[in-house]
Structure 1
Amino acid sequence: MEAKRHMLDGIARMDEGDWLAALAHFEKAVDLRETKEWREDPEAAWVLAAAWINRGDVLQKLGRHTEGVHALDRGIEAMAHVSLDRNPSCAGRLVLAWIKRGTACGEAGKTIEALAGFAAAEGLLETWAADLGPDAPMMASMLHANRARLLLDLGKTVDGWKDAGTAVELLKPLQSEGVAAVAAIKAHGILCRALAMLLDEPGGTKLVEDWIASATNAAEEALALVRSSGYRREWVADLVRYGARIYRACQPHFLGEFICEWVAGKGPLAGDEALKREMLEQLQLAKAELGQRVRLYAHDDGQMARSMQILASFQFAEKLLATSA
């Protein structure tokens, strides 16, 4: 019972973001559960694995990636003493451990091990998805989203875009609230990042059928989830970054309004000064690009009038960003 209490207290501290306190609780839970004959007792192995995996989670949050990988390895070792053939519903914990290991290795710069971890999780999902019930799509989406993030970090933009798209699609049938909503926001954020990166990939936008619609829809869907869920953590700033770049590239007439809604005035991210500076840079780039287009259509009165309207929206956004500083 004492080990369970430490687990519950550790999870509560995690929810509060108190990583050091959470780590202390999980370490105590590990110490207590290691005294059991877990190699001969599947139930003891099962609860020990949970303690090690949670410990690994916290170590990752603290940036202690090597220790985090070691903790996850211990959790995977404990799960080897739980027969999945007899307890197929237990496969989810092992799937999560491998996804987390892949993620941790990626953050530690161990690319080969990271991809191997994701592959192991993928194989387990293929085998046990039917036994995992409604948790299977969430786990599969987490796998594809985390692998997409790694691939994008490695500059493998097309592969990352494909994985991110899969992550988003897997979550669409689920309710857009609670944990599922947060997962969907993160997956959309990674997809927006991939779509923005395709701008720099030779022929990248040609890979996406109607890239403009796909890119703007991804940004709008993600930010609609942010509005409905009230989620305001770090992923939202990333969504705005990539959303601004996407609008600048394909629908600049919406860029000023987009920036004002999220970053200026009473926008939800109006207090993020670094993001404001980035948005000012996007507006400067958009103005320069607009100037180039104006020179091309200097004799088209309709195009010139439209360009002046767009320029005015950029200038209004700049003014609002400055006054809300």
Structure 2
Amino acid sequence: MPPPPPDVSPSRPPSDSPDDRNAVAKTWMKRGIALLSANDPAALSEALQCFDQALAIRRELPFEESAWYRWLLTACWMNRGDVLTRLGRPEDLSAAIHSFDEAIFHLLHLPLDADPQYRSRLALAWMNRSLALRAQATSESLQEALLSLDRASKVLEESVTPQRPLGAAMPATVLINRAAVLLELSPPRAFEALEVAQTALALSQPTEHEVLQAAEISLKARHIFCHAVAVLLETPPVDATHADDWIMQATDKVDEAMHLTASWEQHAGAAHFRGMRQELFRYGCHLLLAYQPHFLAEFLLDVLDPEQGSPLLAREGDLYQVGLQSLDLAASELRRRGPLDLGLKGMDRLIDVLETLSRAAERIKKRAKLLSSG
């Protein structure tokens, strides 16, 4: 439950003391943050009102003479921008960008070398500004979003000292956002997005089994990598050698994601990865179905067969349904091609593949039946 709103009625005016007035603002901020954390769209308008109340008070505090009051003022602008971005209407997004611009203005007037939190929030402000620009979804706003992400990266680089090395989480998050924007450009810069996602994955992968945030970043990086591969494969001309390599890398990343999410769910109860796991699994199935159906059975058994894959994944019914649909589609597509497309030797190979798909389907159907009866 959010805290009750502070009593600032006319019958009880706040004290003239800056600290007392800030205490009222702090109560408004806590209430707004609680509403924001509830992840309830219906609460966003009330959260915005809370942050506006806090902002109105803190704008009157002596922030010109106090870095502490200026720092608190930036928190108001940051939270206000966050709410407006989530509200998402055109006028809200424009107001969100203005809020982040105000936060950046005040952060730049802080002694950035005095406290590492100053540069961290400045980088976050630039990154959040890029999210609002991305949500506007125009060619101009997407280009400006990339520039904002460049500024975030520069701020992070400037924050590094021998005593304060840069961690992996924030740079990887900036890279993830950059890769996503690159795929939304027209035309998409898919190869660049693929490379950026790969870099983000390299930063987060070493700790993905121990740190939840690293696991989330790694999964998003794999997701964007697979999306970039799908775009590249649909953009002619496609070099066959590169295509095979991209597909292999993408399906490897899907397989890694399956086991990573299963590990987190088994040992830490992190079931919130399930939606992303299913989406990545569909990516793997669709890529192989479209371009390498002869490898589909092996991929599915690696994931769904408890003797080869994770016992936890072998109990997930939704994955079985996606797998069986993919097997049926692969068999239909291969039969459609026939001898005219493949020749006699190709037909021998086709028969072998169809038999493999059929055996895999039977094995998976048996497992699905056991799952539903259990």
Sort the TM-score into its range (normalised by shorter chain): 0.7 to 0.9
Q: Does 1:188 find its partner at 2:222?
A: yes
> 1:117-128 to 2 correspondence within 5 Å?
117-128=148-159
Q: Cα offset for 1:317? A: 6.7
User: Which residue of structure 2 lines up, in the alignment, with residue 173 of structure 1?
Assistant: 206
AA aligned to 2:279 is D
Moved more, 309-318 or 68-77: 309-318
Match of 1:18 among 40, 48, 54: 40
User: Which residue of structure 2 lines up, in the alignment, with residue 102 of structure 1?
Assistant: 130
Q: Cα offset for 1:140? A: 0.9
In 2, Cα distance between the equivalents of 1:43 and 1:204?
57
Q: Does 1:144 find its partner at 2:175?
A: yes
Match of 2:147 among 116, 123, 132: 116
AA aligned to 2:65 is E
Q: Give unpaired runs (5+ residues) of structure 1.
A: 271-275
Query: Residues 308 and 150 (structure 1 numbering): CA distance in 2 closer, same or farther, change over 3 Å?
Result: same
User: Which residue of structure 2 lines up, in the alignment, with residue 60 of structure 1?
Assistant: 85
Q: Does 1:163 find its partner at 2:196?
A: yes
Match of 2:250 among 202, 215, 234: 215
Q: Cα offset for 1:112? A: 2.4
User: Which residue of structure 1 lines up, in the alignment, with residue 334 of structure 2?
Assistant: 290
In 2, Cα distance between the equivalents of 1:164 and 1:314?
33
Q: Does 1:45 find its partner at 2:86?
A: no
Q: Does 1:2 find its partner at 2:24?
A: yes
Query: Residues 192 and 302 (structure 1 numbering): CA distance in 2 closer, same or farther, change over 3 Å?
Result: closer
SS state of the match for residue 168, structure 2?
A: helix
In 2, Cα distance between the equivalents of 1:269 and 1:26?
41
User: Which residue of structure 1 lines up, in the alignment, with residue 14 of structure 2?
Assistant: none
Q: Cα offset for 1:52? A: 1.6
The superposition leaves residues 283-324 of structure 1 with CA deviations (integer Å, 9 ceiling, x where unpaired) of 565234422565326556565133223145458879969x98
Q: Give the CA RMSD over aligned residues.
A: 3.6
**Contact in 2 for aligned 1:255/1:314 (Cα 8 Å):** no
Q: Cα offset for 1:150? A: 0.9
Q: Does 1:240 find its partner at 2:281?
A: yes
In 2, Cα distance between the equivalents of 1:108 and 1:191?
23
Query: Residues 308 and 316 (structure 1 numbering): CA distance in 2 closer, same or farther, change over 3 Å?
Result: same
Q: Cα offset for 1:237? A: 4.4
AA aligned to 1:76 is I
- Scaled by the length of structure 2, the TM-score of the pair is 0.71
**Contact in 2 for aligned 1:175/1:181 (Cα 8 Å):** yes
User: Which residue of structure 1 lines up, in the alignment, with residue 53 of structure 2?
Assistant: 28
Moved more, 35-44 or 300-309: 300-309
Query: Residues 2 and 196 (structure 1 numbering): CA distance in 2 closer, same or farther, change over 3 Å?
Result: same
The superposition leaves residues 152-179 of structure 1 with CA deviations (integer Å, 9 ceiling, x where unpaired) of 1121111111111111111123353322
**Contact in 1 for aligned 2:201/2:222 (Cα 8 Å):** yes
Query: Residues 257 and 80 (structure 1 numbering): CA distance in 2 closer, same or farther, change over 3 Å?
Result: same
In 2, Cα distance between the equivalents of 1:268 and 1:96?
39
**Contact in 1 for aligned 2:205/2:214 (Cα 8 Å):** no
Query: Residues 257 and 32 (structure 1 numbering): CA distance in 2 closer, same or farther, change over 3 Å?
Result: farther
Query: Residues 78 and 199 (structure 1 numbering): CA distance in 2 closer, same or farther, change over 3 Å?
Result: same
User: Which residue of structure 1 lines up, in the alignment, with residue 110 of structure 2?
Assistant: 82
Which protein shows a greater Rg? 2
User: Which residue of structure 2 lines up, in the alignment, with residue 306 of structure 1?
Assistant: 353
Q: Cα offset for 1:144? A: 0.9
User: Which residue of structure 1 lines up, in the alignment, with residue 19 of structure 2?
Assistant: none
**Contact in 2 for aligned 1:198/1:204 (Cα 8 Å):** no
Specify which structure has the bigger relative contact order, considering alpha-carbon pairs within 8 angstroms and separated by 6 or more residues.
1
User: Which residue of structure 2 lines up, in the alignment, with residue 228 of structure 1?
Assistant: 263
Give the number of equivalent residue pairs. 317
Moved more, 229-238 or 183-192: 229-238
Moved more, 67-76 or 124-133: 124-133
In 1, Cα distance between the equivalents of 2:87 and 2:66?
32
Moved more, 308-317 or 45-54: 308-317
**Contact in 1 for aligned 2:104/2:122 (Cα 8 Å):** yes
Query: Residues 95 and 22 (structure 1 numbering): CA distance in 2 closer, same or farther, change over 3 Å?
Result: same
